[in-house]
Amino acid sequence: MKRRWLIFALVFLFASETKAIERTPYTWNLADIYRSEREFTKDYTFVSDMLPTLSSYQGKLKNESTVAKLFSTHEQVARKLEKLSLYAQLQQDLNIEDKKAAHFKAKVETLAANYATTAAFIEPELLSLPKETLEKWKNSKSLKTYARYFSELLERKAHTLSKKEEQLLAKLSPLADEAENIYHYATRGDYTPPVMRIDGKTVSLTGGNFLKALEHPDRTYRKQAFQTFFTSFEQIQHTAAATLYASVKADELYAKARRYDSGLEAALANDDIPKQVFDNLLSTVNERLPSLHRYIDLRKKALQLQAVHSYDLYVPLASKTVTKTFPMEKAEALILEGLKPLGNDYVKQVEYAFHHRWLDVYPRPKKYTGGYNISAYDTHPFILLNYDQSLDEVLTIAHEIGHAMNSVLTNKKQPYHYSGQSIFTAEVASTANEWLMMDYLLKQAKTDEEKLYLLNQQIDQIRGALYTQVMYSEFEQAIHEKVGKGESLTAEELNDMWLRLLKKYYGSAYAVDSEAALGWLRIPHFYDAFYVYKYATSLAASFELTKQIKEDKTGKATERYLQFLSAGTSDDPIPLLQKAGVNIMSPKPLNNLLTYFDSLVTEMEQILHKQGKI
């Protein structure tokens, strides 16, 4: 359960409303949050003034009446603070160099720090109470809306230490993040992006343009880019190995301190996920590795290679002539059509978002790069894009709209303390939209070459979000088990483990390049233990749900799905998915997805054969 009413990440920055913001249909209207600086200041003052009141409850959580009043007070403060945070972040992301923002940043961050310090007593004090008291409050009339929260407290109580021990762990906890900080300094600060000379030109290779280089039709160019890029990481591999070892060691130590058997068990417990889900994911995907091997072999034939190397995995098999551009108006029309299986109300809400400035679409100087969806409980969602009119970006819009609609429906149905979503379920809402969009686009393809292009996109999406993430998860499990046994992690050991996994996952048609051994070094998610597996389970769950939606003519599957989007964190992720119609603890959803993967490869093979390319 995501306890956003107690703990949430705050990014605070405020910019002057006198700054001119381009007024087009495809920019945010931040007046939907605050119409003036005066309104912002009013909420700021409210939060500041309420902190002493919040603090006054410390040491007094002895009866349900007092706890109920505390929860009510805390929610008022947290909701205002969430709005302040959202407004400040969005202003910052529109213009990173706004001078007025710098003035407000220190002020609001101080407020955030004061809030965090003030509210820190709540959960430890509740956890220190007898089990019988928590059970009683869980079933009491005045606290019944928090019943699930108390259930979670009871679950965590078995892993809660004495007050002094908890205080000690809290003081030591910042040290656990230092390994990741050092890693980022090494990979961003000390690391220099490499350059290569080709055709008399100097090309700088960054994380952003490296994948584009791997899509280049000239194999010599791809190979040189790959070798240049990966070789450049040799200079920091020993530092990265040391930081990863330190991070994993901290995970295992904290897990044991809290009476978990392993870091994996602790990470899964934090999300209320049974270990069976993780084990089932790895075993099922391992059984279906021949499907991925078949695709790699098809690439080998289509590209007329003796073996597929790492730098051959991303080059499109379709002609570049079919690559289309999608002006924003066209993208909007496609998305509204593609999402029709989710019902009229869903589509109308999406259309409303397009026409009421929920999206800031185009890149501009000083604007945040990338894309995201974010909202507060008391606002509509805001979607940031840097739209380049590509198919990938159309799918990105659909993806972020899935997150946005998840928030809209949840906030309509759930109280504040059950709003938000766990990562395990949040990606279901976004990838479901991608499945529906690709299904629609594939049906609209007019030529074999168009279909081949889309099949390539869909196959590589599954390869990246399922097979690759499971390979990452298997690597994580191996390094955690190694450290859990008291063994170390050296760069040489990590390189060897990575190469063996690459060979296992990609099969006999794949040639392992020695430079690829450093792939583990490029995955910052390994510093957030057992995070990446959720991408794979979400993809399988959303595929199963959209499959049911398309096949069910009664509309009941769609209704169940919309109820799932409205559920927030009112239950554990597994029961929420089960109510929607998918049992992710079973191999069935994964096998259904991988059977679909097989069908896509078969269809691609047929088109390539028809074209005489194989």
Which of the 8 DSSP states describes residue 308?
B
pLDDT digit string (tens) for 240-271? 999 999 999 999 999 999 999 999 999 999 89
Whether the per-residue pLDDT at 342 is higher than 50: the answer is yes
Decide: helix, strand or coil at residue 488. coil
**What are phi and psi for residue 348, nearest 5 degrees?**
-65, -40
Q: Is residue 396 part of a domain?
A: no
Q: What's the rounded mean pLDDT across residues 284-302?
A: 98
Q: Is residue 534 part of a domain?
A: no
Q: Write down the pLDDT at residue 163.
A: 72
Q: How crowded is residue 518: how many other Cβ atoms within 10 Å of its Cβ?
A: 22
Q: What's the rounded mean pLDDT across residues 493-513?
A: 98
Residue that the structure tokens 């590209």 belong to? 303
- Number of domains the chain is built from: 1
Query: What pTM was computed for the model?
Result: 0.91
Q: Is residue 61 part of a domain?
A: yes
Q: What's the rounded mean pLDDT across residues 193-217?
A: 83
Question: Predicted confidence band at 102 (pLDDT cuts at 50, 70, 90)?
Answer: low
Q: Write down the pLDDT at residue 112.
A: 76
CATH number at residue 65: 1.20.140.70
Considering the chain, what percentage of its residues have pLDDT values greater than 90? 77
Question: Predicted confidence band at 16 (pLDDT cuts at 50, 70, 90)?
Answer: very low
CA atoms of 344 and 38, how far apart (whole Å): 39
Q: Write down the pLDDT at residue 516.
A: 97
Q: Is residue 163 part of a domain?
A: no
Question: Predicted confidence band at 29 (pLDDT cuts at 50, 70, 90)?
Answer: very high
Q: Is 132 marked active-site?
A: no
Q: What is the mean pLDDT of the chain?
A: 91
Q: What's the rounded mean pLDDT across residues 5-27?
A: 43
pLDDT digit string (tens) for 125-154? 999 999 999 999 999 999 999 999 999 999
CA atoms of 535 and 531, how far apart (whole Å): 8
**What are phi and psi for residue 89, nearest 5 degrees?**
-65, -45
Whether the per-residue pLDDT at 13 is higher than 50: the answer is no
Are 517 and 499 contacting, i.e. CB atoms less than 8 angstroms apart? yes
Q: Write down the pLDDT at residue 319.
A: 80
Residue 49: give the domain boundaries: 19-158+357-389
Q: What's the rounded mean pLDDT across residues 417-435?
A: 95
Q: Is residue 23 part of a domain?
A: yes
Reference 419, options 430, 427, 411; nearest CA is 411
Q: Write down the pLDDT at residue 205.
A: 86
Q: Write down the pLDDT at residue 20.
A: 41
Decide: helix, strand or coil at residue 203. strand
Residue type, 108: V
Indicate the range of 99-103, 294-298, 359-363, 479-483 predicted with least confidence: 99-103
Q: What's the rounded mean pLDDT across residues 205-224?
A: 88
Q: Is residue 153 part of a domain?
A: yes
Considering the chain, what percentage of its residues have pLDDT values greater than 70? 94
Q: What's the rounded mean pLDDT across residues 61-84?
A: 95
User: Among 125, 332, 393, 400, which one carries the catalytic annotation?
Assistant: 400
Q: Is residue 147 part of a domain?
A: yes
Whether the per-residue pLDDT at 282 is higher than 70: the answer is yes
- Nearest 10 degrees: CA dihedral of 557, 562, 565, 570? -90
Rg (CA), the chain: 25
Who has greater pLDDT, 322 or 417? 417
Q: Is residue 607 part of a domain?
A: no
Reference 294, options 463, 449, 448; nearest CA is 463
Whether the per-residue pLDDT at 276 is higher than 70: the answer is yes
* Residues β-bridged to residue 201: 198
Q: What's the rounded mean pLDDT across residues 278-301?
A: 98
Reference 548, options 597, 594, 583; nearest CA is 583
Q: Write down the pLDDT at residue 321.
A: 67
Q: Which residues of 467-498 are buried (b: 16+ CB within 10 A; e: fewer)?
A: bbbbbbbbbbbbbbebbbeeeebebebbbebb
pLDDT digit string (tens) for 518-569? 999 999 999 999 999 999 999 999 999 999 999 999 999 999 999 999 999 9
